[in-house]
Structure 1
């Protein structure tokens, strides 16, 4: 756990490991986006813990149709600044994990619809050959 913390915290260990790696400072570049997001995520850790505690206690719900950050702010669990920071981190994380390097055609052979098995795709691919 300490090793992971050392890698995820800006400082000597991380600097030593990334010394010879190109890291952009441009948030529109993938590596720059990571560098931009990391300190913001670290700064929002306490607010993240507060939100997670509230969710575990049932004070705030996290579903696909609600905004738990806004809900926590409205209930006084998070301050306005904490809510703003968490919303920004959430947006940055979404950008970091977004994959846009595949066309729908490239993804389609690997997509498995509900009720379908992976073998169904392989069978149709083999039949097409």
Structure 2
């Protein structure tokens, strides 16, 4: 309809053509998702992710097509477009919170589904790459989560009143709230977390405006 009504002017109506391009892109995405799901043997555990992705794409296609119908240059065709595209109304919604929670659980817990999704991602252990560091830290973080909740509960109860994290950990050990192995796990998890979120740090001389030879200063600091 857009091509028949606008012809070559469709290229000039950039917002209309962009919305139509969004629809085409999401159609390709849906086709790719189905092809991947089929090629991997239709794993039942992946269905929440597939459902979430389809709901998201279809909702975005509805928004894009709605934008085309509501803003079509020919006002006489707007009503017809709305009727053709949405004869029963616009009922598609974004993925719900319950489905999103299921997907989040799959992504945040080691599983075959997560292994399939991360296949081909560079995550060589010990490489220092951010993704590999997060993958390395994930099992420890999951294991340490109930321990952190236990410490937080003790802190709220007034049992841990030290100011620093290390001091609170020592208090928890003294009060037998955690064992030595659990304390080691918490320390290891904290170190991994700090390594992941840490950023590059430079001396003030390196960042000063008008510096003639920044490379020389950086080399001297590295030495």
Name whichever structure is richer in helix by fraction: 2
- Structure 1: runs of 5 or more not aligned: 109-129
**Residue pairs, 1:57-72, within 5 angstroms:** 57-61=157-161, 63-64=163-164, 67-72=167-172
* Structure 1 stretches of at least 4 aligned residues deviating more than 4 Å after TM superposition: 104-108
Query: Would the aligned equivalents of 1:27 and 1:36 in 2 still touch at CA under 8 Å?
Result: no
TM-score (norm 1): 0.69
Q: Which one has more relative contact order, counting CA pairs under 8 Å at least 6 apart?
A: 1
Indicate the residue corresponding to 2:121 in structure 1: 21
Distance 1:31 1:76, change over 3 A: same
1:28 Cα deviation after fit: 2.9
1:23 CA drift (Å) = 1.5
Partners in 2 of 1:49 and 1:57 — Cα distance?
Answer: 12
Greater radius of gyration (CA): 2
Q: CA RMSD in A?
A: 2.6
- 1:85 counterpart residue number: 185
